[in-house]
Every structure is written in structure tokens, then in C-alpha cells.
């Protein structure tokens, strides 16, 4: 079973591919304001499209483009269910190299900074696509607590690979962005996300897998992920989503 297939099944009940609850997501996209009619959003690494669709629904008269290197199934249906088909376009492409002539009023990039080699590359990419003074909705991993050896081993990273919340804010400010709002995922949001991820895959393995081989593979992925979470990163790995204002491009009245 390839990872994309496993991930699609794992996100059945939690199509936001980040430890963020739907009400927090709604608040965050609302805080992209002011967003006028005709404004355009770009979601880099859009995944199942939940951030972009919620942003479009929250801001009437806007349009959006979602870019992902592997568009998952169900995006057209998700847009249609919310009456947003005519306002959104999905593009399957490597976000790193993807280019368009126009500039966007807001860029979203949640849980996909690895597409740009990390935080700094993501901030650069966002600025390339953004009109001066626009907004960036950025979601990325942080340390909630100094990482234990078990957390580092489970995530296969070093302590310097992620900042804490203050360090994240320092880095975005150094690149010319100012936080206008933010959300730090709670332990309850993490637990809901990880139980959903592992539980959806487990239920599929036990009740829907078409072959013994796929059942065994899916169970192994779910168990491995659960162990790495519970014995590794739980409580240490955090996630922050920030609404950032482009301080370099802002001017009075914009
Ligand atoms: C953790 S998911 C987050 C999805 C979505 N932003 C969300 O929060 O629900 C990361 C997404 O980034 C996409 N991705 C990773 N590398 C990429 C790249 N180079 N270009 C475009 N998308 C990429 C993956 O396919 C995946 O859908």
C-alpha cells in the first residue's frame, strides 16, 4: 500500500491534514480580513482543500487556486457540496516550480513547508505570489516542549529542525512579516487528529480491505504511526497556524 493511498484513507474523518479543529480553521480564515469582493486566494499544498474552501465560503465574491503535487480524489465534489465550483480551480503541480502571471491577495500554506525546503523557502515563495501588503496563512510544526530523545527518534529530526512558538515568530518577523492572529493546536486537537488518522486506517483494514495483504499493510502503518505518536511526539510536537501580514509591502490604507 503506497503512502498516498494510506493517507487518503487515514483522512476520511478528518480531511484537514493538520491537527486543527474545524472551528479553529474557520476563525483563522476569517482573520485574513479585510478581504474585498474579487480577492484571490492561493493555497500551496492544498491537500483535501478544506482551508481554501472555507476561505472562499467565508469571503463572498472571492476566487481561489489550490495547488498540490498529488491532488486527492473528491476535491470537485467537496467544492460542489458548498456551491463553490465556479470559484475554485485545482492544479496538480509541484508548488515549488509552479508559476502564474497574476498576484494573489492571500496565500495559504498549511503543513506543506517541506515543499519549499522549509520555513524560509516558504516565506520567499509566498512573497513571490502575493500582492504587496497581502496576507499569508502559514501552518507549521513547532516544539511545544523541549523534545525528548523518543520524540526526536520518532520524527527522525534534530532539536534544531523546528523552532518553538517564540522562535517561529522571530523568524517570520526577520523575513518581513507581522503576525495578525494565530492558533496553537491544543493537545485535544492533536489527539483527535491522530486518533482519527490511525482509527480510520484501522477500521478500513479490519472491515473494508479487499485483500489480506492490504489489510496487513494498512494495520502495520496504523500501528506504527500510533506507537510513534503515543511513545514519541505526543505533547512535544506542536503546530502553529499564523495569519501573517506582509509588513514590507503594506502602506497606510492597504
Ligand atoms: C500535510 S498535507 C497538508 C494539506 C493541507 N494544506 C491541509 O492542511 O489540509 C501536505 C500537502 O502538501 C503537498 N505537497 C508536498 N510537497 C509538495 C510540492 N512540492 N508541491 C505541491 N504540493 C506538495 C502534499 O501532497 C500534501 O497534500
What percent of the chain clears pLDDT 90, i.e. is strictly above it? 92
Q: Cell numbers of 28, please?
A: 483563522
- Comparison of pLDDT for 238 and 36, the residue scoring more: 238
Say what the pTM is.
Answer: 0.96
CB contact at 8 A, 130 and 228: no
Examine the pLDDT at 79 and tell me if it is beyond 90: yes
Can you give the length of the chain in residues? 254
> What pLDDT band is residue 101 in, cutting at 50, 70 and 90?
confident
Using CA atoms, how far residue 77 sits from 23, 47, 73, 112, in Å, is: 22, 14, 9, 23
Instruction: Write the DSSP assignment of 114-147 as a string of letters.
Output: GGGTSHHHHHHHHHHHEEEEEEEEEEEEEESSPP
Atom of ligand 1 nearest to the CA of 16: 9
Pocket around ligand 1 at a 6 A CB cut-off? 16-18, 45-48, 50-51, 67-70, 94-96, 110-112, 115
Nearest residue CA, atom 16 of ligand 1? 115
Q: Is the pLDDT of residue 37 over 90?
A: no
* Cα–ligand 1 centroid distance for 253 (angstroms): 34
Distance (Å) from CA 110 to ligand 1 centroid? 8
> Residue 160 C-alpha to ligand 1 middle, in angstroms?
23
**Three-state DSSP class for 180?**
strand
Residue 109 CA, ligand 1 centroid: distance in Å? 8
Give 73's DSSP letter. Answer: T
- Residues of the chain with pLDDT > 70, as a percent, come to 98
Amino acid at each position: 500500500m503506497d503512502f498516498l493511498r494510506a493517507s487518503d484513507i487515514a483522512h476520511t474523518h478528518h480531511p484537514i491534514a493538520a491537527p486543527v479543529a474545524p472551528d479553529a480553521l474557520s476563525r483563522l480564515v476569517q482573520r485574513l480580513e479585510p478581504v474585498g469582493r474579487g480577492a484571490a486566494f492561493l493555497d500551496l499544498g492544498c491537500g483535501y482543500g478544506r482551508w481554501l474552501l472555507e476561505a472562499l465560503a467565508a469571503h463572498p465574491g472571492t476566487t481561489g487556486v489550490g495547488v498540490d503535487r498529488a491532488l486527492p480524489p473528491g476535491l470537485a465534489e467537496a467544492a460542489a457540496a458548498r456551491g463553490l465550483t465556479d470559484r475554485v480551480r485545482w492544479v496538480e503541480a509541484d508548488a515549488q516550480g509552479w508559476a502564474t502571471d497574476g498576484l494573489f491577495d492571500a496565500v495559504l500554506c498549511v503543513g506543506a513547508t517541506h515543499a519549499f525546503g522549509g520555513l524560509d523557502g516558504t516565506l520567499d515563495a509566498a512573497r513571490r505570489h502575493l500582492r504587496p501588503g497581502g496576507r499569508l496563512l502559514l501552518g507549521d510544526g513547532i516544539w511545544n516542549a523541549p523534545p525528548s530523545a523518543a520524540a526526536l527518534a520518532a520524527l527522525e529530526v534534530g532539536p534544531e529542525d523546528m523552532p518553538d512558538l517564540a522562535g517561529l515568530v522571530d523568524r517570520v518577523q526577520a523575513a518581513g512579516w507581522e503576525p495578525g492572529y494565530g492558533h496553537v493546536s491544543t493537545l485535544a486537537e492533536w489527539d483527535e487528529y491522530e486518533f482519527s488518522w490511525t482509527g480510520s486506517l484501522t477500521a478500513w483494514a479490519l472491515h473494508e480491505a479487499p485483500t489480506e495483504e492490504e489489510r496487513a499493510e494498512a494495520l502495520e502503518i496504523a500501528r506504527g504511526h500510533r506507537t510513534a505518536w503515543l511513545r514519541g511526539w505526543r505533547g512535544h510536537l506542536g503546530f502553529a497556524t499564523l495569519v501573517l501580514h506582509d509588513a514590507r509591502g503594506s502602506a497606510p490604507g492597504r
